[in-house]
Amino acid sequence: MSVRDFILAVLNAVLYAVVGVATHLGLFAFVVGGVRFWPSVFIPAVFAEVYGPLVGALGAAIGIFISDMVIHGNALISLSIGVPANFIGFYVLGCLARRIPRDSRYSGVLAVVLQFLPAIGIYYLYATGFIDTVIAGVFIGVVVVTAAIIAVSLATSLLTGRGYVYSNEALAYTAGLMIGSAYIGLGLWALTQAIRLGLPGVPEAFQAKAPIIAALIWFLWTYYTEIPFMVYLAPPVARAVEKWVKRYEEES
């Protein structure tokens, strides 16, 4: 890793932690089962896409650890769940975003299809009474709107060569976040089989020896509350940063 990349990773970590803590303690202090509502997720997505997977992943891992220490202070849970989930997820995101061509129509189609797969889990939770109609409707709304944004962008890019979200970005955001969310869900569930979490916001039934359905709830909450911020905020920010980097390199 070059000195430049290390500095960028540190900047990524600071922004991720500061914005995340500020929004959590201020406007977005929502927690489901101990997993926070985390709109700052778009920040390492931009760094991973523009500067490479290692910059995005390392910054995200450091940033989430800092924020975890500020918010709940449990280093074991952070180092075993939050840190690796963020590193793996954003590393995958960066690799896909940089290696898949922006005009790959198959990537866009796959990204649209993938939005609906976790919806099976939403239906299961609704059918078994774990969530009510309102919550199920909100999550399905996120699915439809996110898939529509990607589909419209794909169609626009095919017709005009430009779109709000490029196909490679859509697949990268989707796959990276799904992998990270799955790690969080399964990781927290596995950890409860060995220790008591002791996290605020976690239902008593999920603190220790949690049922496997807890993993599904953690996964769905993490993915469907974060994917909108990646899809809506990361692309324009990434374009602006890329434009600035290009101008800086031309002037240097």
pLDDT value of residue 105: 80
Cβ-contact 241, 249 below 8 angstroms: no
pLDDT in tens, 42-85: 999 999 999 999 999 999 999 999 999 998 889 999 999 999 99
What's the rounded mean pLDDT across residues 8-27?
A: 86
Quote the mean pLDDT of the chain: 89
pLDDT confidence of residue 212: 94
Q: How many CB atoms lie within 10 A of CB 67?
A: 24
pLDDT in the model for residue 247 = 83
pLDDT at res. 252: 67
User: What pLDDT was estimated at residue 33?
Assistant: 43
Query: How many residues are recorded in the chain?
Result: 252
Give the separation between CA 158 and CA 166, rounded to whole angstroms: 10
The top-scoring range by mean pLDDT among 33-47, 56-70, 148-162, 235-249 is 56-70
pLDDT of residue 176: 98
| C-beta neighbour count of 151 within 10 angstroms | 17
DSSP-assigned letter for residue 148: H
Whether the predicted pLDDT of 30 surpasses 60: no
Q: Provide the pLDDT for residue 31.
A: 46
* Element counts in the chain: helices (H) and strands (E): 11, 2
Residue 20 above 90 pLDDT? no
Secondary-structure percent of the chain, ordered helix, strand, coil, rounded to 5:
80, 0, 20
Per-residue pLDDT of 110-144, as tens digits, reads: 999 999 998 899 999 999 988 889 888 988 998 89
Rounded mean pLDDT, 185-214: 90
